[in-house]
Chains A and B, each alone.
Chain A
Amino acid sequence: AQSVTQPDIHITVSEGASLELRCNYSYGATPYLFWYVQSPGQGLQLLLKYFSGDTLVQGIKGFEAEFKRSQSSFNLRKPSVHWSDAAEYFCAVVGSNFGNEKLTFGTGTRLTIIP
């Protein structure tokens, strides 16, 4: 079964600074990977997804993520954060082999933006 780890529980960055949120996964083959964002009191919104092809994936709100097979990672990046990016971010993984695979979420990284 697959698993996903988000090593950073909480990250604080200044507005305008660059951002990188880490995500590491465990799966025997290439998985399908997702990043979601959750603002306080809201549901989860899909930022981007990776199924195959180009390992650099562009998403909404100016976010991108890079799939690195050799490092089993799918880190989320943004070149310049805005105060509205303050939220919790979840990485998720599901197996690519056809079968009874279920989406597995990391425990999240809370992002705080300081002026």
Chain B
Amino acid sequence: DAGITQSPRHKVTETGTPVTLRCHQTENHRYMYWYRQDPGHGLRLIHYSYGVKDTDKGEVSDGYSVSRSKTEDFLLTLESATSSQTSVYFCAISESSQGAQYFGPGTRLTVT
């Protein structure tokens, strides 16, 4: 399995609080992605990165921001968490934009 870790693995937070999720890779892959997974919706892309300090929006980016200051780390921030952001968040990496993506174990976030 690709070397991808996510932290924390579980988090419960209150509405309106900021939350940061971390994705760490040891594969030196250029591309990194954040997805959310919800029943009936499959996986939806939030943001992605194509290099250090290079990021772009996905299909469900509202309410989320990202940062990538090092090749190995990609952070997802919810500036002010809402109940609609309760979900399971997955990080993925790939060597190229059209190559296979490899996924981390996920973070289960509950916003109360």
**B-contacting residues of A (Cβ < 8 Å)?**
32, 34, 36, 41-46, 49, 90, 94-96, 98, 100-103, 105-108
Contacts and interface: CB of A to CB of B under 8 A. Distances in A.
A106 B98 contact: no
A46 B102 contact: yes
B43 A105 contact: yes
Nearest to A91: B42
B41 interface: yes
A54 to B, nearest CB: 17
A108 B44 CA distance: 13
Q: Which of A34, A44, A90 has the most CB of B within 10 A?
A: A44
For this complex, into which size category does the number of interface residues on chain B fall?
20 to 34
A102 B42 contact: no
A43 B103 contact: yes
A45 B45 CA distance: 17
Given A32-B98, A43-B106, A101-B98, A107 B90 contact: no
Given A101-B97, A102-B58, A42 B42 contact: no
B105 A103 contact: no
B34 interface: no
A114 B109 CA distance: 32
7 contacts: A34-B100, A41-B106, A43-B103, A46-B100, A95-B98, A102-B48, A105-B42
